[in-house]
Amino acid sequence: MTENTQQRRRVPGIKEHLDAISRINSEINSIVETVKDYESKVSTEIALQRENSPRTQLYQKKDQLETDHKATLSIRNTLISKKQEILPTYTSLKNEMHSEKKKLHIDNFSQLEKQESDLKSHLLKKKVTAQEEKMIASHLSEISRKKRSFGTIKTKEEELSKYEEKLEKLNKELNEIQTQIKTEKEQILSIKTELEKLKTQGKTKSNSIIDYENKIEDLNKKKKDLMSKRKEQNEEIRKKQEIYEKHLQEIKKQTEIEESKKHIKIRIKEYEIQRNNLIEEKYKLDSDNFNSIIEAVKKIPISHQTFTMPISLISLLNQVQVNLPKNYQDIDRCIEELFKKKEEFEKKIEPNMLRLNKQIQEIDEKIKEEYKVLEGMPPTEVKVYKEKKIVVEGVSIVEVVSIEIRDSKDKDKIKVGLFLYFITFYFYLYNKTMGRRKKVDSENIKNEEIKETKTCDRDVVTISETLPPQPTIRNNTHFPSSTTFHLLQSTCSIPHLILPEWPISTMSAVQKRFERMPRNGWFAILRYYNGKFGRTFNIDVLKKLTHNEAEREIRQEENGERRKFATCLAEPCIEKFLCKIKELSEKEIENVVVRTRKLPSELVESKVLELINQITGKYAESHVPKNVSDAARIIQAAQKGYDEETRKEKPRSAWKENIESKISKLVLFKDLLEKARKQEKLSTSETKSLKKIM
């Protein structure tokens, strides 16, 4: 199965049909195996019958004759091809000899020799004239030429006689082969005639073959009946699948609604994050910091000896860029300057505050619209559950065949189809699961389950470990489940809480218990809040109260962190900076070679760096550098001060000692095992150690 292929859903209620189909398939498989066995026996009987039948022998004889006939034909073709190769050469040689003999006008070589001897004897016996002698000489030369030509003709005659012998031999062999071919054809034709006669007589089956064929026919009929039954079972499954598909389509619709609700909630969460960011930005632009600085300046302790100020106050005045007071008379001037800075800051941030307030208001409107859309969505109406059995200690407790819950105004229309087995044991397990230890009569419980469908629904879900949808009312008013509402009530009932602290404390308690706000939990908290404090707030006002309290806590934590940072880090950094300045001033600039760490921006501690920059700036204002060397010393002191303040000593690794201790333990274990192998006497502690090793 590929990764993209989805697992097919199991339709509830088709198990008995699947079991019936499985039984039918096993019967069909056994029938098929039996039929195969009978067919193999029939084929064996037919093979034996064929081997002993005359028709098979005739066919074998016919096949042998046809094979021999093909071999004879191939021999004949070979002889014919040889004859065709010799015949052209023989014909051309014969024609050449005939034409040459015709030119010489002689039949044989003896005639030429006789003419030559006659001419020679005529020259010797008679006296001839010069002219006659000349003629006889020409005749003799002609005869000698003919004799030479006749020598070549004689060679050709010998060659021609050889070809004639070969042709005669081939013709003889061809005649014999032709006679053999004719005989073979006659034999094949006679066998075919006999086979035709046997064919007209027909085939005869043995009694065993007929018996096997009858059994095969009966089994095939039985197989056909079983296949029709299997078809009926498949048809029933198909009908139930169609019904189940309709239920799945309903579930799909409701799932899509739930998905759209989920997306709306995600958008609401994003809007709330944007709103919190804007509120945080708005808080950064708060002018109340000037009021705290003014109050701190007013509370500077008066001493007749020297004029002193806390380092934290110096740092705050440097942040707002106000000149430090030189004496007690200069404090009023510093306060007036702070008021002016505050007015300038308020004028400067006024457009930003308006912009932030407008953006927060727009986001609140968007959140309100999303909640309206969420409340206007239809509730989940249909849920279908699969068949499920729960077995505890080998006992089937409950079987939920199908549960169909329809939401409507009329509670009587809630339908729960189920079978309950072993009611007493079931409720014992339910009470144990929910933490209830009540002894209730099993018959009374059974009657209550039949009457009170709501309680039955909750209990069955607890036992069968399934989670049904919460019942909803069609007037678009959502309420949490009874169990969740009970838990929320117990969570909200926090004693000794006054009205302003109640929303944020309740919210933190709910998050601690549930890790998130449960479904429809806001409605339960709102109802409890209005009932407890006699208010008529809506859900948006309650959420704003919760967020405002949370923001106030965050703001207080940040202010506390700033104050802690200013008081704890400012004094050590100033002391280190002044020490480094003094140390570097005692040395010549050529001898000052200090290499500090080079850090990426993400590893820089911004608060420490900002504080050291402020200290460096104030020092440079009060001690103006006269040359480049003084400026270099100030920069070097700032770098060394930051390096020493942020450097963290790495603890020495003890890996070597750990490995050595492990090695020593293993050596001891090895010695103990050696003693045990040699069966030496061991002490009590060694015996205990050996048992641990083993």
Kindly report, residue by residue over 490-527, the tens digit of the pLDDT.
Answer: 444 444 444 455 666 777 777 666 767 777 777 777 77
One-letter identity of residue 285: L
CATH architecture for residues 53-201: Orthogonal Bundle (1.10)
Q: Which of 28-32, 60-64, 197-201, 436-440 has the lowest mean pLDDT?
A: 436-440
Q: Is 517 exposed, middle or buried (0-12, 13-18, 19+ CB in 10 A)?
A: middle
Q: Where are the alpha helices (DSSP H) in 202-330?
A: 207-284, 288-298, 311-319
- The pLDDT tens digits of the residues spanning 363-393 come to 889 888 888 888 888 876 544 444 444 333 3
For residue 568, the model assigns a pLDDT of 59
Query: The pTM is what?
Result: 0.29
For residue 28, the model assigns a pLDDT of 92
**HSE-CB of 409 using CA atoms within 13 angstroms:** 3
One-letter identity of residue 609: L
Mention every residue, 6+ apart, whose C-beta is less than 8 A from residue 395. 422, 425
Decide if 320 contacts 293 (C-beta within 8 A): yes
In this prediction, residue 560 has a pLDDT band, given cuts at 50, 70 and 90, of: low
In this prediction, residue 23 has a pLDDT band, given cuts at 50, 70 and 90, of: very high
Q: Which of 171-185, 210-224, 315-329 has the lowest mean pLDDT?
A: 315-329
| Cα distance between the two ends of the chain | 47
In the chain, domain spans? 53-201, 558-597+604-646, 657-693
In this prediction, residue 25 has a pLDDT band, given cuts at 50, 70 and 90, of: very high
- Taking 80 as the threshold, does the pLDDT of residue 29 lie above it? yes
Q: Which of 44-53, 152-161, 346-355, 436-445 has the lowest mean pLDDT?
A: 436-445
In this prediction, residue 26 has a pLDDT band, given cuts at 50, 70 and 90, of: very high
Decide if 459 contacts 482 (C-beta within 8 A): no
- Taking 50 as the threshold, does the pLDDT of residue 455 lie above it? no
